[in-house]
């Protein structure tokens, strides 16, 4: 179970060759600890994250590493088990003494890891889109947050489809918090929430939910289901003849349901994404081509996998500007709010007050043939919410997760 994949990438051979030579080349590698699920219920969305990190590490090593030091990737597979996340976090930080810890899929796993990272005062990068609100100087969040995914998507849905909304959400922190986000964004728009259902993780049968939806007669569905079992909802809803527009922050670009389900099942699903494989800019196409050359069997390059690649590139910028891998120096390097990378989606910049990233957000939809269409380009969206409610990591480090229902005391 405690499988340890030591993934040196292309660095392995050159590093071994370099070691016995001059003192300059014998600089120890920068160790990157990676926790990603490549087995268990979330394996399908976790594998692209491992690939994204591997590709970035290889690309950085091919151009000389960071500060003249090669990157060494140590990947462990926690299999979606939060206890294992904690065990592996301790192991990577204490025994392997990694310079930076990256990874975690669910919000539950991130919250399992964060206290340990805090006690060790280590640097942790979380690469998923999530429900937002973590104000923690030890964490850099690379994925999109609600002000980027929901403040864009939900008002657009209300305007386009109507004000009667039905929420179907997974019964754990992501589902509850994203549902609260939906309310705080849509209530001022006069939206009526005609139904809200929380589904235990692992539930795969939805006849009752489908009937409740028909009774409530919503204009569209706000979908916050998580995991493969719950995603059976779409097939079953379709079979029962329920055809409603849907919006979700975790479908399509993350779960690539349009690559896994028969055509028609995901029809009229709308999402706001910083990355999706179908993005047709020249930079995105070049990125996809590099990825597909390295991993020809990848089912889909999802946003998490892309963010994992971005994380390494951001880390390179940070460490090179700081000329160090120490947390305080890295935070100093991002403090003026200009540090970023030119990524395939566009330029991504770190906001030093919240340690979250700006993103170029686009609204996408799925048609009846499982094809992606870009409905709208929102441009660059800042992660403004945390600093708006008073999180300022340049002044204090509360290590809290704030939500619309749990705001910092002023």
Partner 1 sequence: MLGNLFAGFYQFADVFAFLVLSAAGLAIIFGMMGVINMAHGEFVMCGVYVTAASYHAGLPLPLAQACGTAVAFLIGMVLEAVVIRPLYTRPLDSLLVTWGLSLVVTQGTLVLVGSTFPGIGTPLGGFRVGDYTFSAYRMVLFAAAIGVLGFVWFLFLRTRFGIQARAVMQNPGMAQALGVRRNRVYALSFGVGAGLAGFCGALYAPTMSLIPTMGSSFIVESFVTVVVGGSSVLLGTAPAAVALAVIRTGLNAWYGQIIGQIGLLVAVILIIRVLPDGFTGWLTRRTA
The footprint of partner 1 (CB under 8 A) covers 38-41, 43-44, 47, 171, 197-200, 202-205, 207-209, 211, 214-215, 228-229, 231-232, 235-236, 238-242, 260-262, 264-265, 297, 299
State the residue for tokens 């896994």.
260
Q: Do residues 99 and 32 touch, judged by C-beta distance below 8 A?
A: yes
- The DSSP H or E segment spanning 381 is strand 372-381
Residue among 47 and 247 whose Cβ is closer to partner 1: 47
Q: Do residues 122 and 306 touch, judged by C-beta distance below 8 A?
A: no
The CB-of-355 to partner 1 minimum distance in angstroms stands at 31
Contact residues for 252 (Cβ-Cβ < 8 A; gap 6+): 258, 266, 269, 271, 273, 276, 364, 366, 372
The CB-of-119 to partner 1 minimum distance in angstroms stands at 32
Residue among 185 and 366 whose Cβ is closer to partner 1: 366
Residue among 41 and 345 whose Cβ is closer to partner 1: 41
CA distances, 202 to each of 26, 269, 349 (Å): 49, 22, 37
- Closest to 126 in 3D by CA, of 43, 34, 228: 34
Residue among 179 and 209 whose Cβ is closer to partner 1: 209
The CB-of-126 to partner 1 minimum distance in angstroms stands at 21
Residue among 228 and 374 whose Cβ is closer to partner 1: 228
The CB-of-364 to partner 1 minimum distance in angstroms stands at 20
CA distances, 270 to each of 50, 127, 161, 234 (Å): 27, 22, 11, 14
Q: Strand 220-224 and strand 164-170: pairing?
A: parallel
| C-alpha to C-alpha distance for 160 and 4, rounded to whole angstroms | 49
Residue among 88 and 300 whose Cβ is closer to partner 1: 300
The CB-of-81 to partner 1 minimum distance in angstroms stands at 12
Residue among 53 and 355 whose Cβ is closer to partner 1: 53
| C-alpha to C-alpha distance for 65 and 57, rounded to whole angstroms | 8
The CB-of-47 to partner 1 minimum distance in angstroms stands at 6
| C-alpha to C-alpha distance for 302 and 312, rounded to whole angstroms | 16
Residue among 19 and 207 whose Cβ is closer to partner 1: 207
| C-alpha to C-alpha distance for 20 and 232, rounded to whole angstroms | 55
The CB-of-233 to partner 1 minimum distance in angstroms stands at 9
CA distances, 74 to each of 141, 179, 407 (Å): 20, 36, 37
Kindly give the interhelix angle for 327-334 and 303-322, rounded to the nearest 10 degrees: 100
Length of the chain: 410
The CB-of-235 to partner 1 minimum distance in angstroms stands at 6
């Amino acid at each position: 179970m405690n499988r340890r994949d030591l993934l040196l990438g292309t660095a392995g051979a050159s590093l071994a060759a370099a070691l016995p030579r001059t003192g300059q080349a014998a600089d120890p590698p920068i160790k990157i600890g990676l926790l990603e699920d490549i087995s268990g219920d979330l394996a399908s969305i976790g594998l692209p994250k491992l690939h994204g990190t591997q590709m970035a590490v290889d690309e950085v090593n091919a151009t000389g590493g960071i500060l003249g030091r090669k990157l060494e990737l140590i990947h462990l597979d926690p299999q979606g088990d939060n206890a294992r996340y904690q065990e592996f976090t301790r192991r990577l930080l204490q025994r392997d003494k990694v310079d930076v810890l990256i990874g975690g899929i669910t919000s539950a796993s991130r919250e399992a890891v964060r206290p340990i990272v805090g006690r060790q005062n280590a640097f942790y990068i979380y690469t998923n889109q999530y429900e937002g609100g973590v104000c923690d100087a030890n964490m850099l969040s690379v994925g999109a947050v609600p002000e980027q995914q929901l403040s864009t998507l939900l008002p657009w849905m209300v305007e386009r489809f109507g004000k009667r909304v039905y929420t179907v959400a997974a019964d754990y922190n992501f589902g509850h918090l994203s549902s609260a986000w939906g309310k705080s964004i849509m209530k001022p728009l006069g939206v009526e929430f005609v139904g809200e259902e929380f589904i235990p993780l692992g539930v795969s049968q939805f006849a009752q939910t489908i009937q409740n939806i028909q009774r409530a007669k919503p204009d569209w569905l706000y979908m916050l289901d998580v995991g493969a079992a719950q995603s059976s909802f779409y097939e079953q809803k379709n079979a029962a003849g329920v055809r409603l527009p849907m919006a979700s922050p975790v479908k399509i670009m993350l779960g690539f349901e349009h690559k896994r389900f028969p055509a028609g099942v995901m029809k009229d699903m709308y999402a706001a994404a910083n990355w999706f494989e179908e993005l047709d800019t020249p930079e995105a196409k070049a990125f996809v081509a590099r990825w597909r050359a390295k991993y020809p069997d990848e089912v889909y390059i999802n946003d998490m996998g892309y963010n994992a690649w971005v994380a390494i590139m951001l880390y390179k910028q940070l460490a090179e500007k700081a000329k160090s891998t120490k947390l305080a120096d890295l935070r100093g390097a991002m403090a003026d709010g200009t540090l970023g990378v030119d990524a395939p989606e566009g330029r991504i910049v770190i906001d030093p007050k919240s340690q979250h990233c700006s993103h170029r957000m686009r609204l996408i939809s799925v048609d009846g043939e499982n094809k992606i269409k870009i409905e709208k380009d929102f441009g660059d969206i800042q992660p403004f919410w945390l600093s708006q409610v008073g999180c300022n990591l340049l002044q204090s480090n509360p290590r809290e997760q704030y939500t619309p229902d749990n705001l910092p005391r002023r």
